[in-house]
Amino acid sequence: MPEFIPVNEPLLDGNEKKYLLECIETGWISSEGPFIKMFEEKFAARVGRKHAVAVTNGTAAIDAAVDALGIGPGDEVILPAFTIISCITQIVRCGAIPVLVDSDSKTWNMDVTQIEAKITTRTKAIMVVHIYGLPVDIAPVLDVAKRYRLKVIEDAAEMHGQTYKGQPCGSFGDISTFSFYPNKHLTTGEGGMIVTDDDELAETCRSLRNLCFQPQKRFVHERLGWNLRMTNMQAALGLAQLERLDDFVNRKRSMGLRYTKLLEGVRGLELPLGKTEYAENIYWVYGLLINDSNALNAEQGMKALAEKGIGTRPFFYPMHQQPVLRRMGLFEDEHYPVAERLYRQGFYIPSGMALNNMQIQRCADVVREVFG
């Protein structure tokens, strides 16, 4: 049996080791230390934002963003049904109401034409989430947000190095967030970043990150925060990874194109779009959709691949079908057919940064064999 190919392996062969060693040798291992500021500044510059606030993970970045915008009980936030649970948890926990829109069947991103009809007098924000490698068509979202005076939260967790009409993803939200989990284009092990141009929002996020300690009266609190502080060690990794972001994006693009070339013409499968009018896919993951006419659904397909040594992950399970949210009485009788189909028929194959061409070839051969 050939070696199992995991769904993700990161690539850490730049300055990661050198910078990490520096943390250990200097003793700067907590959230104090020089790499944090360097990483924040370089990251902000890369995304074209004024401020960057490094945090513990991408979910925490979203939590803080929602809180910083003052979203609270009774406020409505519009977001895609097809996304990760991270996007919705703070909305629900703070007593706000998540309002869902379905996906575009081609790009798998939120169908932006459905947003306006969901706006009410209680709508406070739109959360856009760029999915799997292609950005949301964001110009119409910004237009709607402006007309209705809504805030925009942009979850760019899967979009490091991606652009929309030439502008960096992460530059569009009143607040935008990133994740540095090891399957993202840039990793710090665990980690996240909040970016914004707004001085006050940035200050609020810095405070929320640090338990809302006050500079003057440290242990007197006017607001509830969290401990979301990134360590100097994580920032050291992040800085080393950021130096290579362009290479990483090129690497992922050529992986995606290679997969597409090898899998084109497999009748049972839909492949990810290579590009749209506003962006070229950066293939955060290489996702596949099994045609409805195929005898296998995603679950069966993933099992067949695992038996042949190929790691996979299912697509996101739509928010309106989440048992925990249904039990709260949310989304009763709501249906989002595109999102439902994406979960039922979709999964992704190995597409981590360290994947090599031989592995891609083998994955593609096995996928052809199973679905062809």
Structure tokens at 231: 């360590």
Instruction: Give residue for tokens 């709508």.
Output: 123
Please tell me whether residue 103 binds ligand PLP under the rule CB under 6 A.
no
The CB-nearest residue to ligand PLP is 58
Q: Please, are residues 184 and 157 in contact by the beta-carbon 8 Å criterion?
A: yes
CB of 24 to ligand PLP, least distance (A): 24
Strand partners, 229: 55
CA 21 to chain centroid: 29
Q: How open is the CA angle 217-219-223, to the nearest 5 degrees? A: 90
Which of 43, 49, 54, 57 forms a contact with ligand PLP (CB under 6 A)?
A: 57
What DSSP state is assigned to residue 201? Answer: H
| Crossing angle of the two packed helices 245-263 and 232-242, in degrees rounded to 10 | 60
Which of 8, 123, 171, 179 forms a contact with ligand PLP (CB under 6 A)?
A: 179
Please tell me whether residue 84 binds ligand PLP under the rule CB under 6 A.
yes
Please tell me whether residue 367 binds ligand PLP under the rule CB under 6 A.
no
Q: Which is nearer to ligand PLP, 89 or 114 (CB)?
A: 89
Q: What are phi and psi of 212, to 5 degrees?
A: 55, 35
Q: Please, are residues 20 and 233 in contact by the beta-carbon 8 Å criterion?
A: yes
- Burial of 224 per CB tally in 10 Å (0-12, 13-18, 19+): exposed
Please tell me whether residue 154 binds ligand PLP under the rule CB under 6 A.
no
CB of 59 to ligand PLP, least distance (A): 3
Q: Which is nearer to ligand PLP, 84 or 91 (CB)?
A: 84
Please tell me whether residue 231 binds ligand PLP under the rule CB under 6 A.
no
Please tell me whether residue 59 binds ligand PLP under the rule CB under 6 A.
yes
How far is residue 94's CA from residue 35's CA, in Å, rounded to a whole number? 33
Q: What are phi and psi of 50, to 5 degrees?
A: -75, -40
Residue 305-344 contact track with ligand PLP, rule CB under 6 A, x = bound: ----------------------------------------
Candidates 110-118, 153-161, 331-339, 361-369; binding stretch for ligand PLP (CB under 6 A): 153-161
Candidates 16-24, 57-65, 290-298, 303-311; binding stretch for ligand PLP (CB under 6 A): 57-65
Q: How open is the CA angle 154-136-336, to the nearest 5 degrees? A: 100
131-162 core/surface letters (b: 16 or more CB in 10 A; e: else): bbbbbbbbeebbebbeeeebbbbbbbbbbbbb
Please tell me whether residue 129 binds ligand PLP under the rule CB under 6 A.
yes
CB of 132 to ligand PLP, least distance (A): 9
Residue 186-225 contact track with ligand PLP, rule CB under 6 A, x = bound: ------x---------------------------------
Which of 28, 40, 82, 86 forms a contact with ligand PLP (CB under 6 A)?
A: 86
Helices (H) and strands (E) in the chain, counts: 12, 13
How far is residue 53's CA from residue 37's CA, in Å, rounded to a whole number? 9
Please tell me whether residue 290 binds ligand PLP under the rule CB under 6 A.
no
How many residues touch ligand PLP (CB under 6 A)? 12
Which of 40, 75, 155, 340 forms a contact with ligand PLP (CB under 6 A)?
A: 155
Amino acid identity at 43: F
Residue 83 neighbours by CB distance under 10 Å: 25
Please tell me whether residue 157 binds ligand PLP under the rule CB under 6 A.
yes
Q: Which is nearer to ligand PLP, 131 or 305 (CB)?
A: 131
Tell me which residues touch ligand PLP (CB under 6 A).
57-59, 84, 86, 129, 155, 157-158, 179, 181, 192
